[in-house]
Amino acid sequence: MSNKFLILLALFCFWNCSTAQTQVSNTSPNISAPKSEPIAKITNNARVIHVLVALCDNVNQGIVPVPAHLGNGEDTEKNLYWGAAYGVKSYFGKSASWQKVATIANPKENVLERVIFKHKTQNVYLIADAYRGSKMKETINDFFSAITGEILENVTVNNQTIQTLGSADLVAFVGHDGLMDFKLEKEIIKKDEAKRDAIVLACASRNYFGEHLKKTNAKPLLWTSNLMAPEAYILHDALEGWMLGETDSQIQSRAASAYAKYQKISVKSASRLLVTGW
């Protein structure tokens, strides 16, 4: 892939926020999709990260249109935030730190694809869901339902049950900031006293998600102060620090360094954009 194309791709990512499928299934008999009935809370024997990705969508989101193949909210293979070079599925899939455990097509309503990764040196699972681009409200509602402990979900991988969403240790949202386009109608109610970390990689997410996140028990580990490109290298490098037990400022520094590298800006500028805490 040429440097010229990568630069153009990054510019498209940035432009996305300035105004407001091919499915793969590698499932095996050892992997089962979650069920919809009420679920009892369990204690995971590994740390769990749940990432909710709102696929880029030219038609249904308030963005400056990107090329059609990147902005098709029904296409996981090429979508800007999922299957493209710096999308969550692609970037983590090529990482030397993570091993892909499963790819599940249509695991539940509104989600086109789920990818499960296991870290190679840490006892940590990452579950990433690709939400239809037309389901932005549902994606954000699920993010807050997870961060408050309202909803739980069991995923069985190789005979091991992992409970995610409300049982995840860290919940992340990646994509266009839908709260620029509509007001959150969901009532935020804490369901437990569990401590969770939150990452929100979307334009000016501190401004738009802040008042709602304050009603939860979640700590804003990483979010943004202005327009940005929510690309997966930010999340990837931040999570490396989180798994090592680094301080919030160290994690923020990792994320800013990654953003500065790929966006070709100063670390100082990236540090003003990617922020931690209140």
pLDDT band at 65 (very low <50, low <70, confident <90, very high): confident
Quote the pLDDT of residue 10: 45
**Could you tell me the end-to-end alpha-carbon distance of the chain, in angstroms, rounded to an integer?**
39
User: CA 106, 49, 163 angle in degrees (round to 5)?
Assistant: 65
Q: Is residue 53 part of a domain?
A: yes
Question: For 94-106, how does the pLDDT look when each residue is reduced to its tens digit (9 = 90+)?
Answer: 999 999 999 999 9
Which residues form the domain of 112? 3-197
What token pair was written down for 274?
């990617």
Question: For 228-261, how does the pLDDT look when each residue is reduced to its tens digit (9 = 90+)?
Answer: 999 999 999 999 999 999 999 999 999 999 999 9
pLDDT band at 37 (very low <50, low <70, confident <90, very high): low
Q: Is residue 33 part of a domain?
A: yes
Range in 13-17, 182-186, 256-260 with the lowest mean pLDDT: 13-17
Give the dihedral of Cα atoms 235, 226, 84, 25; nearest 10 deg: 60
Q: Is residue 259 part of a domain?
A: no
Range in 51-60, 156-165, 243-252, 266-275 with the lowest mean pLDDT: 156-165
Number of structural domains found in the chain: 1
CA distance 182 to 77: 28
Mean per-residue pLDDT, 47-55: 98
Q: Is residue 267 part of a domain?
A: no
Q: Is residue 156 part of a domain?
A: yes
CA distance 223 to 205: 6
52: left (phi over 0), alpha (psi -120 to 50) or beta: beta
Predicted TM-score (pTM) above 0.85: yes
Q: Is residue 216 part of a domain?
A: no
Quote the pLDDT of residue 63: 85
pLDDT above 70 covers what percent of the chain?
A: 87
Give residues with Cβ within 8 angstroms of 233, minimum separation 6: 86, 91, 258, 259, 261, 262
Q: Is residue 235 part of a domain?
A: no
Strands 197-201 and 170-174: parallel
Q: Is residue 210 part of a domain?
A: no
Evaluate if residue 27 carries a pLDDT over 60: no
Evaluate if residue 30 carries a pLDDT over 90: no
